[in-house]
Structure 1
C-alpha cells in the first residue's frame, strides 16, 4: 500500500479518471412537463405511430419507461420532434392510466400476457356463417376475454347469404349478446357498414376474428377514405383464411364519433391469465350466488353454490350453462 506520510497534499493523492464521463449519476428523471398528449395508432418493429393533435408522429419508447409495454389505444405523453415530418422521431415518456386492457396468451399454458389493445369499450367478435365455418370455441374464448377486460361484446355474423344465423344466435341467446347479421350483398352495397357504424358510435371498438371471415373488409367499409388494409381469400382446401393484417391499427370513425381498431386474424386465443372470479362479474344475475362457493371455486365444480342458487329460482338455468361453457373454453383449444 502506498504511504503518503502524516500530511499528504493533493499532489500525493492519485485520482482515478471517470471513464464514464464527468456527469454524476442520479435517479432524478425529467418531468417532461411540456410533453404533448397523444394516442398510439399502431406499432411496427419498435416504432409507434401516434396521433398528436391533428397529425401523426412516429415515436419510440423512452429508455426511462423500462419494460413497460405500450399498446395500441394507449394515451401517451410525447416529447421531441412533433412535426410529423418524414424522417423525424419523437419519444414516448409516459403512459396514461388504462381504463381497460384486452389481453391474451399464446396458449393456455403460457403465463406471458400479451396486451392486444388498451382503453377500448367494446369487442366486436366477427365470424362468418360459412366459408369458413364458424368456430364457436374461439367465439367463447373471445367472450371470456371481453368479460375479463370489462368490454361489452358485440357479435358480428357475416356471409348470411351462405348460411342461416338462427342456430348460432340460439347458442348465445342466454347471454343476451348484442348482435349484427350481414350478407355479402349488404356489405358490397354499403348497407352493412351503416348498420355496424350505429353500434360503434361514441365508442372505441376492437374487431377480432379468425382470418377470412370478412373482418378487415368490414372495417374498410365502416371507415372509408382511411388507410385501407389488404384483404385475403379463404383457402379452398383448408377452409382457413390467409393473414393479411399483421398489426393492430386504430382508425377514427367519420366525424370523429369513435374509434375502430382492426387486429390481425386469430388462430388461437390463450386464456391462461383469466381469473374465473372476474368472468362471473359479467353475469350479475349469477354473481350473488357465489357468496357461498368454496374458496377458489372455479364455478364448474360439484360443490359450487351456483347449482343451489339456480335451483332456488334466482336465475335462469340456461345462464349457468352458458357461464360454464365459457369457463370450460379456457381448457379447450380455440380451434376445436
Structure 2
C-alpha cells in the first residue's frame, strides 16, 4: 500500500497525493460503519486498483495530530489569520473570535494585516501594537507594493497552514502573489455591504513550491464558540491570562471585582482596551448561555 495525504475531497472522492502523484480514491465501507469520515489533511494508506493504478481505496487513516471542523481539515501546523486594514475595515471582535478558535485547536497562530498600503504607518502600528502586546506574531502585507510578501513566504514554508479570515480581505490575492501558478479566483468587496464576495468554494490543500501546504478557506463571518465559559474564557486571551495571577481574588472574572490586576493593566495601557472590551462581550455571552 502507498502512504499519502488527502489534499481534496469532493462528492465522496478523496484525492490523495503520494510521491508527487495524485490518486482518486474512495473510502472503504468500514469507515461508514465506524462513523469515521476521512478529512482533507489526513495522512492515509491507500490500495490502488490493479486495472489502472490511478484510482484506489483509502484503507487506513493514520492518527490525526489535530482536526478543525470549520474548515474541516486535519493535521494543521498553524493558522494565518488575515484581516485587511481597509476595504473592509477590520472588525476586531471578529478577529478575536478567529483567534479564540485557533487557540482552542492549540495550533500556532500568526496574524496577517493586509492592504497596509491603504492606511498610514501610525494606524498600522496601532493595530500591530494591540496584538503584539497580546503575544501574537503580526505580519504586514500589501500585494500592491509587495511589502511583507517575502516574510509571509517564510512563515508558510514547510508548514501545513490554514489561511483564514473573512471574505474580501485578500486571502486569495495574497496566495496568488506568493505563488502565481495557484491561480486562485479572487473577488471584490461589495460597495453596498463592505463585505467580500465568496470566491473559495471547497476545501483543498494546495502544494507550495517552497514546501508545505496551504488551505485557502471559504470566507465566513459567524463562528460558534459554545465551548467558552466564564471559567475558561481568560485562557483564550493570553495577555489577560498571564495578568490574572496577580488578581486579589481567585476566580476573578476581571469584570466588576475589586483588586483586579487585569483592569489595572488596561488602565495603564499594558493591555489593549479594545481587546478587554471584546473579552467583556464574550464574558457576557458565556453568562447568558449559562442561564439556559
> Normalised by the shorter chain, which TM-score bucket?
0.7 to 0.9
TM-aligned CA distance change 1:317 to 1:40, over 3 Å: same
TM-aligned CA distance change 1:186 to 1:84, over 3 Å: farther
Q: CA deviation at 1:245?
A: 0.5
Q: CA deviation at 1:126?
A: 0.6
Partner of 2:47: 79
Asked if the contact 1:57/1:82 (under 8 Å) is kept, the reply is no
Query: Out of 54, 61, 65, which is 2:31 matched to?
Result: 65
Q: CA deviation at 1:50?
A: 1.3
Q: Is residue 2:216 matched to residue 1:272?
A: no
Asked if the contact 2:113/2:139 (under 8 Å) is kept, the reply is yes
Q: CA deviation at 1:231?
A: 0.8
Taking the aligned partners of 1:139 and 1:200, their CA distance within structure 2 comes to 20
TM-aligned CA distance change 1:63 to 1:327, over 3 Å: farther
The 5 A counterparts of 1:102-113 are 102-104=68-70
Taking the aligned partners of 1:129 and 1:58, their CA distance within structure 2 comes to 41
Query: Out of 263, 275, 278, which is 2:217 matched to?
Result: 263
Q: CA deviation at 1:301?
A: 6.2
Taking the aligned partners of 1:244 and 1:84, their CA distance within structure 2 comes to 34
Partner of 1:22: none
Query: Out of 192, 195, 202, which is 1:247 matched to?
Result: 202
Matched residue SS, 1:218? helix
Query: Out of 121, 135, 141, which is 2:91 matched to?
Result: 135
TM-score (norm 1): 0.69
The 5 A counterparts of 1:187-266 are 187=146, 192-225=148-181, 227-256=182-211, 258-266=212-220
Q: Is residue 2:103 matched to residue 1:147?
A: yes
CA deviations 1:72-94 (Å, max 9, x no partner) are 21112222338987xx5422232
Taking the aligned partners of 2:38 and 2:244, their CA distance within structure 1 comes to 33
Asked if the contact 2:187/2:197 (under 8 Å) is kept, the reply is yes
Asked if the contact 1:223/1:252 (under 8 Å) is kept, the reply is no
Higher helix proportion (structure 1 or 2): 2
Partner of 1:116: 72
Taking the aligned partners of 2:236 and 2:175, their CA distance within structure 1 comes to 30
Partner of 2:130: 171
Taking the aligned partners of 2:73 and 2:280, their CA distance within structure 1 comes to 22
Larger Rg, first or second structure (1 or 2): 1
Taking the aligned partners of 1:43 and 1:82, their CA distance within structure 2 comes to 22
Matched residue SS, 1:285? helix
Taking the aligned partners of 2:264 and 2:4, their CA distance within structure 1 comes to 52
Taking the aligned partners of 1:209 and 1:202, their CA distance within structure 2 comes to 21
Taking the aligned partners of 2:61 and 2:83, their CA distance within structure 1 comes to 33
Aligned length: 273
TM-aligned CA distance change 1:233 to 1:264, over 3 Å: same
Matched residue SS, 2:184? coil
Unaligned runs of 5+ in 1: 1-34, 105-114
Matched residue SS, 1:172? helix
Q: CA deviation at 1:53?
A: 1.9
Q: CA deviation at 1:259?
A: 2.1
TM-aligned CA distance change 1:185 to 1:204, over 3 Å: same
Taking the aligned partners of 2:66 and 2:22, their CA distance within structure 1 comes to 24
Taking the aligned partners of 1:287 and 1:78, their CA distance within structure 2 comes to 49
Partner of 2:290: none
